[in-house]
A and B are shown apart, each in its own frame.
Chain A
Amino acid sequence: MTGGRAADRTARGRLLLIRLLVLVTVVSGTIYIGWRWTDSISWSAWWIAVPLILAETYSLVDTALFGTTMWRLKERGEPPVAPDGVTVDVLVTTYDEPVDLVLATATAARDIRYPHETWILDDGARDELRAAAEQIGVGYITRSESWVGKPRHAKAGNLNNALFQTQGELLLVLDADQVPVPTLLDRTVGYFSDPAVGFVQTPQFFTNVDDADLLGSQAPLFYGPIQQGKDGWNAAFFCGSNAVLRREALMQLGIVGYVRQVDATVRRTIRTADSILARAARRADRETPAVRLAVDEVRAAVRQARHDLDSGMSLGELTYAFQRRVDAVSLAVVRDNAAAIRADLAVIESLPVERDAELGTLVVDEAAFDELARRDLSPVGAIESVRAIASQIDADVAGEAQPVMPLATISVTEDMATAMRMHSLGWRSVYHHEILAFGLAPEDLPTMLQQRLRWSQGTMQVMLRENPLTKRGLSLGQRLMYFSTMWSYLSGFAALAYIAGPIVYLTFGVLPVEAFGSEFFARFLPYFLANQLLFVVVARGIATWRGQQYSLALFPVWITACWTAFANVVLHRPLGFVVTPKTTSRGRRPVPWRAVWPQAAAAVLLVVAACVGLVRLSTGHADLGPTLVTLAWVVYDLVVLSVIARAARYTGPSPTKTVEVTS
């Protein structure tokens, strides 16, 4: 116990130091940025000065959010003991990963010590894998028939399908490459003795990564201080794998989501149906009177539905009554139409050759047929729009494979949205900081870029669809924790300013900051040093440099993510879904220029600008102080971007562990 207490004291001491550094960083940062806004912007060069100050302000907010996360850093230590008798399903999700890889994970999953059932969720429906699953004695699940012709929702859909074919109280979700240790459940199930706990997330760790980690796959800052900080605010993130979830919490999300969707769809349709039906009625006016009558009848049904909705009738009753009424109308129209067609056919039999009164030409048979076709088709057309409306005013969510979707399908990264919804319903979350599964990271740059793009797109989709700052049911701390992650993906725009700033000065002599002397350093250095020190204390020896490099160096990815997510959510353009390949062929590959040309262009421009700057300095066209500061800035940018050049040539981990001098 004394050891535990001593550890507690150390943890408390560390937290105090962190909080002190957070305060110093935010205060000094605010002083610096305040001075920059009020006293140092070169308004004559506003086109570069304003983007730069905006970028710097962005970074300060980012730092403040990071500080908020660290404020409640929570080190949980030993987990509570797992009680006997909890039923658990272990779900291994796969789409197209190699069978051997899936089997290795499934076998390890089967051998987890705590009693459980193991299932392979094969979205590729491969017979080979089905047979292999049977051989090693684990369950095998593919999509049920109801998914045919419906949106599949990728991994979220795969899990949602399996949820209705399994029965455990808890679910351990594993990606196909995440090999669990036998004690995984013993170390996590105990947390669920608290009935309010909805999920427990453990770290993701990759075994095919050497010490240099050129692709920045390990995320020791995220699966460490950041998750522990979020945990302190009861806002640990669910990351899609290596997590245990409570079925009841997920199903509750599914039910609440179902009601919300039916309610929203019915309301929206009832609101918009009037104008659509009015249009149909106008068209019908020129066609058969019977259709006109039918459309009028449906309009009356919509009015009735609106009235029922306002009077508080349940959506089930309201939609049922509406459906019956529309069915009756459709039947009448079809019957009536059949009679009309018969009548038309009779007319054609006796069709005389008519002379058109106005043009004095003969009306030929073709025209008569056209007329008939129009009259034949238009009632169906009118009924089509009615049908579309009718399918919306129902309670069966006809467009989806299953009405209840426990895992959120609003984003390509189902995990974050699911966790946020769980938090908003009052469920608690746990981040358990112990590596309990070993996975595989992408082994080449293009694959890694795809993966990062998907994560950032998913995060921005959630941000745009369910803004955490306004979502009901979240605490202030939880709002900030979700917002912080979303905010961090805006860094691509700031990076543009940080790269453009020095280029503009060195090439054209345009200085975006009015003072680069002692006035600047007196305010900038305290902020900069406090920030760096905070990082050192928080990181406690873990390697964070790679992460820092990539947050700037992947600026094209972040910008693409922001733009495509916006186009998807607001403009309803398709996003496209990319499954990250887990293994890649080794060997020399050409540098993927198409993927990294923005970084390459930025590096070339920076070098050229540095040369021009030196020439300007030597010819007396530039001042020494600002040139030196800007050159230092260029060197920093180039060092950061250099990781891309090395990553582009990377073809997998080196066979022997090498100690790498960090660049």
Chain B
Amino acid sequence: MTNQQIIERIDRSIAEEFEIDPEEMKPEKTLFQDLGLDSLDIVDLVIVLETAFRFKIREEEGIRNIRTLGDIHAFVLQKKNELESNPR
């Protein structure tokens, strides 16, 4: 899966789960203010990403720093890279 495919998969999964207009899925959009998510949604967002990419991220410190959709893209890409270079 290329980075672009990963990003598209992230955007599609989040848009479907939270019923967001795909046109809104821009990297600079903030999750809370721009996309209308809240703390309960973040619980579900983690599950959506874990299911889509078959990894575990709930305990990752990096999640706390996510503010924008672009932050999610970067977080997931980094996690995928880590897993590919250190497969368990």
- Whether both chains belong to one complex is answered with no
